[in-house]
Amino acid sequence: MTDSQEWRHLFTLLKLAEMGAHKRTAKISTEYLAEKLVTSQQTASRYLIELERKGWIKRSMTHDGCLIKIDDAGTGELQKLFSNLRSLMEAAYPPSVTLEGTVFTGLGEGAYYIGKEYYLKQFVEKLGFEPYPGTLNLKLTSDYDVKARAELEAYPAVEVAGFKNEDRTFGLVKCYPALIDNKVKGALVTALRSHYDASVLEIIAPVCLRRQLNLKDGNKVKIEILIPM
Amino acid sequence: MTDSQEWRHLFTLLKLAEMGAHKRTAKISTEYLAEKLVTSQQTASRYLIELERKGWIKRSMTHDGCLIKIDDAGTGELQKLFSNLRSLMEAAYPPSVTLEGTVFTGLGEGAYYIGKEYYLKQFVEKLGFEPYPGTLNLKLTSDYDVKARAELEAYPAVEVAGFKNEDRTFGLVKCYPALIDNKVKGALVTALRSHYDASVLEIIAPVCLRRQLNLKDGNKVKIEILIPM
DNA sequence: ATTACTACTAAACGAGTAC
DNA sequence: TGTACTCGTTTAGTAGTAA
């Protein structure tokens, strides 16, 4: 993760790029750079030394200034920032939505539904994992979470088709891949039938979440829903 | 110009955007933000206060965390950074090339050429100004400047077509719009005929540069050539 | 002209803590 | 839980200056 040191370096790199140092070797004095950075000549000098140490730029000194070229590593950093910004700015949806809920024990019907062969096959295909036979039930506590959950309906989801057997019809299931407690990959599944209201989440994962995360009724759990672009 | 204060704010904004706060109101605790910024909870709190003061974000406090939405001003800043980066990363050429040379008195032939009606009309049309009838001659001093000048040949230029009159032929003139001494807009014109070698620049501008910039022979002048994308 | 060191000043940070 | 204040500590920034 980018720390505060890196920010300054990244911005210095950006200014150097604005002076053309990413396309060609440019003659840039510390005084001139300082002006662009709104800082002192000494600070600009220090930044350049730091950037050189990091391998982000190459320098060669001449009698009247130094020649600077942004190195591949530096260009890579700028590219990374650019890609990051692009995906943020061009995306229609936020990259993720985090919900928080309290663990409670359900009626065990989740297990019944997700165990159905036709659903199961699709979970493996579309989510990339075979769910542990049981759902983790979470009760949303705050207004914020209920609202945020409602917003999700408008976001793209992984759709698991419904089916019909001799007895009855099984509906479409919308899944939202998610990171549970910042640790386990799983998915939020829309209530298979509306046993629960809008303030309840059902989570599936390749493992037993209660065991894996050592959860008991009443514990709070964070669900970070990752929205595809 | 972005100062060091703004860098941190811009990066904080970026992190908030990564949490979806540019698309929706997101619940983000100062503790969580601090983690993403690799800093302390107190610092994250301070940043949020500063961002709010700037009008870059809107906040509303709840009993368990605060709801954050990046405001239009904030989104605008991110957009600005993004556009800036995009034009840098996607451009084939550096945005500008700065040359430095020493003023000297030429043979006065520049005035003769640029005064030609056919050229003059094109200067006005293509450069957007009627040049003062005379060129400022600059002698490039360092190796770097001579090399940089040579690179220019490969970059896009404003082309002023040549012509023929009863006496002789007047060749094509390549012009590079430029900022002279960070103050006056003008253009570098390729030696109309090669009186001078590669280490000489001829500059035109809507005003008399010698007078406007109070230049005398031997003075050093900076020419920032602005390369179109 | 430059760059960049040393020594000092200013600012940012974060521990403790109140709310 | 949360946020954000005070205040001592750490870090970044700059003036002066040598090379």
Please tell me whether residue A148 adopts helix, strand or coil conformation. helix
- In this structure, the number of other CB atoms found within 10 A of the CB of residue A10 comes to 19
pTM for this prediction: 0.90
Return all residues near A227 (Cβ < 8 A) that are at least 6 apart: A93, A94, A95, A96, A97, A155, A156, A176
**A88 → closest Cβ in B22, B64, B97:** B22
**Best CA proximity match to A215, nearest among A186, A192, A190, A189:** A186
Residue B43 approaches strand D within 7 Å at CB: no
Residue A15 approaches strand D within 7 Å at CB: no
Residue A40 approaches strand D within 7 Å at CB: yes
Determine the angle formed by the axes of helices A4-18 and A30-37, rounding to 10 degrees. 110
Residue A45 approaches strand D within 7 Å at CB: no
Separation in Å, CA of B111 to nearest CA in chain A: 31
pLDDT band at B19 (very low <50, low <70, confident <90, very high): very high
- Chain-chain contact of B85 with A82 (C-beta, under 8 angstroms): yes
Of the listed ranges A103-112, A191-200, B118-127, the one predicted with least confidence? A191-200
Rounded to whole angstroms, the distance from the CA of residue B10 to the C1' of nucleotide C1 is 36
pLDDT digits (tens, 9 = 90+) for B116-154: 999 999 999 999 999 999 999 999 989 999 999 999 999
- pLDDT > 70: percent of chain A: 96
Residue A141 approaches strand D within 7 Å at CB: no
A156 phi and psi angles, rounded to 5 deg: -65, 140
- Please answer whether residues B178 and B96 qualify as being in contact, where contact means their C-beta atoms are separated by less than 8 angstroms: no
The DSSP-derived string for B165-184 is -SS-EE--EEEEEEEETTTE
What residues of chain B lie within 8 A of the CB of A39, using their CB?
Answer: 3-4
- Please answer whether residues B68 and B28 qualify as being in contact, where contact means their C-beta atoms are separated by less than 8 angstroms: yes
The domains found in chain A, sorted by start residue, are: 3-89 (1.10.10.10), 96-226 (2.40.30.30)
Mean of per-residue pLDDT scores for chain B: 92
Return all residues near A14 (Cβ < 8 A) that are at least 6 apart: A78, B84, B85, B88
**Best CA proximity match to A165, nearest among A125, A131, A115, A123:** A115
- Chain-chain contact of A38 with B2 (C-beta, under 8 angstroms): yes
Chain D: positions less than 7 Å from a protein CB are 1-6, 12-16
- Chain-chain contact of A26 with B86 (C-beta, under 8 angstroms): no
* Whole-number Å distance between alpha carbons of B166 and A24: 44
Residue in chain A closest to B147 (alpha carbons) equals A25
A21: burial class by Cβ within 10 Å (0-12, 13-18, 19+)? buried
DSSP assigned state of B217? T
**B95 → closest Cβ in A18, A67, A93:** A18
For residue B195, pLDDT beyond 80: no
**Bridge partners of A68?**
A26, A59
Residue nearest to nucleotide D3 (CA to C1'): B45
